[in-house]
Amino acid sequence: MTTTLTARPLAILLAAMISLTGFGALADSHEPPPQGVLESFMCSFIDGKDRDDLDSAIQYHLKQAEKAGIPTVPAYLWTKFKGTADADMIWHNAYESTAAFAAQMDVEAASSEMTAVNDRYLSVVDCMPMLGKVSPIHQQEGADNGEDRFIVSYACRTHQAPNPAAFSDLHRHVNGELTAMGETSPMGAFAIAPVTGDPSGPNAVYV
């Protein structure tokens, strides 16, 4: 069973603090890879706002979260270097599971401090949200994810209805090919399956 994909470059992005190894690397076994959840926002600056305003909002976020006693989740900011994505950046919040995402949303919704944080962000950027399940495909052995990296992202649609078994087979094949490349392989490869978002949009994103 095969799944044919139509891919288009979404963007080449400069990633700050990008380290998704917390979700685990795809093992050599035939077990399905572990999945995490990404809450993603494709964002553009509101007229008159810039990165300094965003950095200020981030610092406000951290202070408000500490004041409310709410732990922050791992977050990753991808800023566009070039590409067709109609956004200046993509912001990801990472969760171990859908349950962890729901629990964080409930805690933040009940906090007046965190409501103020959301309002602060909305005064700086205009964003389109998406929720997706992320699966690691490949992780280069010994790779250091502590520095800023360039990320190549592809938004894809299948020619047929999405088939989980075909996707799993594709990901294992890609992992094998990238592993065989050794030190010349990308540092990591991940598949994001949208859970929410535009129904006419991609049903697979590869980074």
pTM equals 0.73
pLDDT at 25: 29
> Taking a C-beta distance cutoff of 8 angstroms, is the pair 177, 113 a contact?
no
pLDDT at 18: 32
Going from the first residue of the chain to its last (207 residues), give the mean pLDDT of each consecutive group of 10, the final group possibly shorter.
38 39 31 68 93 92 91 84 79 89 92 90 92 85 62 78 78 86 84 79 79
Paired tokens of 176 = 């094998």
